[in-house]
Amino acid sequence: MKARALVAWNVRRIRVDRGISQERLAYDARIDRSYMGGIEQQSQNPTIDILERIADTLDVHLSEFFLQPPKGATPPETLRKGRKPARSRRKTK
């Protein structure tokens, strides 16, 4: 697994395990929410300083982002999407 994919995998794994949204993690780490999404989608190449802020926010050592997942591991699940409560569906007459 390439380094960027490895970081994306582990950041998402740790974040989801702790039940933290991307938005909350980005806010607490003082980075833009869309940049945080880009890290997890492997479209952004974060600096070591950014990774250190994310690690500090998640209360893990920076090396946690470079752990290889076990063979056959499934990708980390995502949290429930959206910030708005689910709307009830009304049947129209």
Question: How confident is the model over 21-76, as pLDDT tens digits?
Answer: 999 999 999 999 999 999 999 999 999 999 999 999 999 999 999 999 888 777 77
Quote the pLDDT of residue 38.
Answer: 96
Question: How confident is the model over 4-23, as pLDDT tens digits?
Answer: 999 999 999 999 999 999 99
71 in a domain, yes or no? no
Chain center to CA of 39: 8
Quote the pLDDT of residue 73.
Answer: 78
83 in a domain, yes or no? no
* Structure tokens belonging to residue 54: 């994310």
The runs of H, that is alpha helices, within 18-83 are 22-29, 33-40, 48-58
| Residue in 37, 85, 75, 27 with CA at minimum distance from that of residue 46 | 37
72: left (phi over 0), alpha (psi -120 to 50) or beta: left
12 in a domain, yes or no? yes
Quote the pLDDT of residue 89.
Answer: 55
89 in a domain, yes or no? no
13 in a domain, yes or no? yes
Q: What is the largest CA-CA distance in the chain?
A: 58
Number of domains in the chain: 1
76 in a domain, yes or no? no
- pTM (global) more than 0.75: yes
42 in a domain, yes or no? yes
Write the CATH number for 16.
Answer: 1.10.260.40
Q: Residue 30 sits in which domain range?
A: 3-66
